[in-house]
Structure 1
Amino acid sequence: MNTNPTRKRIAVVLAASAVVTAGTVGAARALSGDDDTHEQPIPTSERDRAEQAALEETGGGTVTGTEVDDEESKYEVEVTLDNGHQVDVQLDESFQVVGTDGDDDSGSDD
């Protein structure tokens, strides 16, 4: 009995299944509207100014994330304060604070 054609069929079926699975997962992500897949960090050329403005607003802390073209503003800088609370600072194109949102609800949301 020749098993070569059977192995080829199995290989073709497995390859086709992998392609279909990858396509299904990609389509599901695209349709889910998950904003995390579209988040882009602030470019290096603008990041220093954005981080400085955010740290001035929060009075210190550590920058733990940045995002450009956020749904709320041009720039968003995530700052973790020394007490462990997180504050998202929203900045406009001129690096002016347009709002803050803290996990401890102490920030203002303009």
Structure 2
Amino acid sequence: MSPRMNRKRIAMVVAGAAAVTAGTVGAARALSGDDDSHEQPIPATELEQAEQAALAETGGGTVTGTEVDDEESKYEVEVTLDNGNQVDVQLDEDFQVVGTEGDDDSRSDD
């Protein structure tokens, strides 16, 4: 077998292995539910109201994440408190608190 043919065969085997690996990783991720690609941040036009409502609920902290149309509410705002704990504040379409969930479980759904 010529060296040129051997290189082509190696390239084909490597490409095939890469395709199988990519497919396997994609399928595993889809099955595990770890795919965050559907999560959308709160649009800028609504972000300030959502942040204000969440920070009023938590009594302060820093907004570290947002999501619109999650499985629990219209808006979800993640707040990291000064003590390092995180609180997820669930808001309805009118920016009213409909539930909270924190690291220390001291807050609950309303």
Normalising by structure 1, we get a TM-score of 0.89
The one-letter code sitting in structure 2 at the alignment partner of 1:17 is A
Which consecutive unaligned segments of at least 5 residues does structure 1 have? none
Tell me which residue corresponds to 2:34: 34
Q: Once the two structures are superposed, what CA deviation does each residue of 1:39-89 show, in whole Å capped at 9, x if it has no partner? A: 222122211111111011111111111111111111110111122221111
How many angstroms apart in 2 are the aligned matches of 1:31 and 1:44?
Answer: 32
Q: Percent identity?
A: 81
* Corresponding position: 1:23 with 2:23: yes
Question: Separation in 2 of the partners of 1:20 and 1:74?
Answer: 38
Residue in 1 that maps onto 2:106: 106
- Code of the aligned partner of 1:29: R
**CA RMSD, 1 decimal:** 1.6
TM-score by length of 2: 0.89
Tell me the number of residue pairs that the alignment of Structure 1 and Structure 2 aligns: 110
Counterpart in the other structure of 1:62 = 62
Q: Structure 2: how far apart are the matches of 1:35 and 1:54?
A: 25
Structure 2: gaps (5+ residues): none
